[in-house]
Amino acid sequence: METLNPLESAQQQIKRAVDLLTLDPAVYEILKEPTRVLAVSVPVRMDDGHVTTFIGYRSQHTDVVGPAKGGVRFHPQVTMDEVKALSMWMTIKCAVLGLPYGGGKGGVVCDPREMSDRELQQLSRAYIQAIAEFVGPEKDIPAPDVNTNPRIMGWMMDEYSRIKGYNAPGLITGKPMVLGGSAGRGEATGRGAVITIREAAKRLGLDLKGATAAVQGFGNVGSNTAKLLHEMGVKVVAINDVMGGAYNATGIHIPEALEYSRAHKTVAGMPGTTPLTTDQLLTLDVDVLVPAALENQVNMGNVAGIKAKIVCEAANGPTTPEASRVLEEKGVFVIPDILANAGGVTVSYFEWVQNMMHFYWPEDEVNDKLERMMVSAFKHVYNMKETRGVDMRDAAYMVAIERVAEAMSARGWIN
């Protein structure tokens, strides 16, 4: 069986980093389970008048560095183990960037595609009512994740503010700008990914001007990554989404692809391109490959064919652990997800800081701060890789766990 249970996988990765750093085994013992996991019932009166009870979760992995931070997903396959694992990965991601947060994650088992706007709003409000005592700007700050968006964040912020009796924008990030959302949040994950690609290319002596790239997924992360690569002079030769792919060996005009995708809800069929499958896209002879769609896309079924020099994991968990080892053996420079897509949570952090100060920054200031934090995180991880002779993924975990363990020691949790 190739793909592990996400919780086991997160536990193994943390254990590996604790062992590589020869830390007190108590660090793993404390981190192997979240501090707190809530399972809540979320009753919603549906449009036809009957009440359906949905199941929701919120996992707070650790508060050793600061309040918990992480998204809420609405998906039929949400499980408690998945939410626990995702909260653990958020601890790691925040620690790689040096953000003053522990990991959190939430989810509701539901299929938002089958729900009306009114039902979705009721669900969002009922979920916040159920967890209101456990979250808050100083405790646990949710954000968007799969199938949740700024509109849903706005409803959740409103519900929490009503319960508390005051306006609390710092409860949640990824809000609409008018409710205290941050400039630059929309493209932050793509921007962060492109910064890591540029830093990796520098280390490899690869000139990105005229280099080629393929991007899987054309949603928030994929489309912004493709747009910013295009602006940098990279030839993005292939893009795709769940409906199909588009290929042009001389480079796709990404601003036109964005317009086409807005109008047709897919990039497939874009004039001047030929169709291609996901496996064809992943195995193209390009310099940079960006999986920005789903988990386990790079796997033992296609990894042998991957030719890219840099794989930037803009999605969460796009490479199976086995395929990750093969990429390493092939000498591919892998930018692990916990570093590659950390631009999103970093600008979420900026949003929370602005909410707490009630003072808002222009977009160039947000982008400058993001640039500095991503470059610094990349440097730390790369230095760990070089000094300890490990790959980028192990290095990122080691940077993160070292920081978390230092905080545990400073609090007197471990010797």
Sites of contact with ligand NAD (CB under 6 A): 189, 216-222, 240-242, 278, 292-294, 314-316, 341, 344
Structure tokens at 42: 């979320």
Nearer to ligand NAD, 130 or 174 (CB): 174
**What minimum distance in Å lies between the beta carbon of 195 and ligand NAD?**
14
Which single residue brings its beta carbon nearest to ligand NAD? Answer: 219
84 in Cβ contact with 59 (< 8 Å): yes
Nearer to ligand NAD, 221 or 370 (CB): 221
Distances (CA, A) of 334 to 196, 270, 298, 311, 329: 10, 30, 12, 5, 11
Nearer to ligand NAD, 188 or 390 (CB): 188
Distances (CA, A) of 222 to 44, 60, 189, 289: 34, 28, 9, 11
Please give the angle made by the CA atoms of 357, 379 and 61, to the nearest 5 degrees: 55
**What minimum distance in Å lies between the beta carbon of 186 and ligand NAD?**
9
**What minimum distance in Å lies between the beta carbon of 267 and ligand NAD?**
8
Candidates 316, 313, 347, 317; CA nearest to 332 is 313
Q: For residue 32, indicate whether it is catalytic.
A: no
**What minimum distance in Å lies between the beta carbon of 50 and ligand NAD?**
30
Q: Which of 93, 105, 175, 385 is catalytic?
A: 105
**What minimum distance in Å lies between the beta carbon of 136 and ligand NAD?**
22
Nearer to ligand NAD, 34 or 217 (CB): 217
Q: What are phi and psi of 269, to 5 degrees?
A: 90, 5
Rounded distance, CA 368 to CA 76, Å? 38
Distances (CA, A) of 109 to 41, 75, 104, 143, 218: 10, 5, 17, 17, 25
Rounded distance, CA 330 to CA 274, Å? 29
Rounded distance, CA 23 to CA 403, Å? 12
Nearer to ligand NAD, 6 or 344 (CB): 344
DSSP-assigned beta bridge partners for residue 110: none
Catalytic residue positions? Answer: 105
